[in-house]
């Protein structure tokens, strides 16, 4: 048996700590806008819960790589500004524009 096959990396995200970190950044950069980048499913940690926590703590923007990711945030009820920075041919651009 391959011993490394049974070893798995695991990351646990503390959403309270994420909120505290966003608040700390907001305090240190008073007046600045803050973008929480949640592309690639929040780097594998869950885009929607991370985005909600960041918004609750004062993030003014959310960042995604693709329009599909941005639409998933909208479908989950997240509002406010979302920046999507990769143009994907055939992407759901009409839907993204209509979703705001």
Q: Which pair of tokens denotes residue 52?
A: 């909600």
Residue 4: per-residue pLDDT: 65
Of the pLDDT bands very low, low, confident and very high (cuts 50, 70, 90), residue 2 is low
Average pLDDT, the chain: 91
Task: In whole angstroms, give the CA distance from residue 68 to residue 74.
Answer: 10
Mean pLDDT of 13-40: 96
What is the per-residue pLDDT across 41-88, written as a single tens digit (0 to 9) for each? 888 889 999 999 999 999 999 999 999 999 999 999 999 999 999 988
CA dist 57 and 15 (Å) reads: 10
CATH of the domain at 51: 3.20.20.10
Q: Is 3 within the bounds of a domain?
A: no
Residue 4 belongs to some domain of the structure: no
Give domain status of residue 2, yes or no.
no
What domain range is 95 assigned to? 13-99
d(CA 29, CA 23): 10
State the total domains in the chain: 1
CA distance 25 to 88: 32
Mean pLDDT for the stretch of residues 6-22: 88
What is residue 44's predicted lDDT score, i.e. its pLDDT?
A: 84
Assess if residue 8 is contained within a domain: no
Residues pairing with 82 in the sheet: 62
Is 36 inside any structural domain?
Answer: yes
- Asked if residue 7 is part of any domain, the answer here is no
């Amino acid at each position: 048996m391959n011993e490394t096959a049974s070893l798995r990396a695991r990351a646990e995200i503390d959403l309270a700590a994420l909120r505290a970190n966003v608040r700390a950044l907001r305090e240190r950069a008073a007046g600045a806008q803050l973008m929480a980048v949640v592309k690639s499913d929040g780097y594998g940690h869950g885009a929607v819960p991370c985005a909600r926590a960041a918004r609750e703590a004062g993030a003014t923007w959310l960042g995604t790589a693709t329009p599909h990711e941005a639409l998933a945030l909208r479908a989950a009820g997240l509002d406010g500004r979302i920046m999507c920075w990769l143009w994907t041919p055939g992407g759901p651009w009409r839907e993204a524009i209509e979703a705001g």
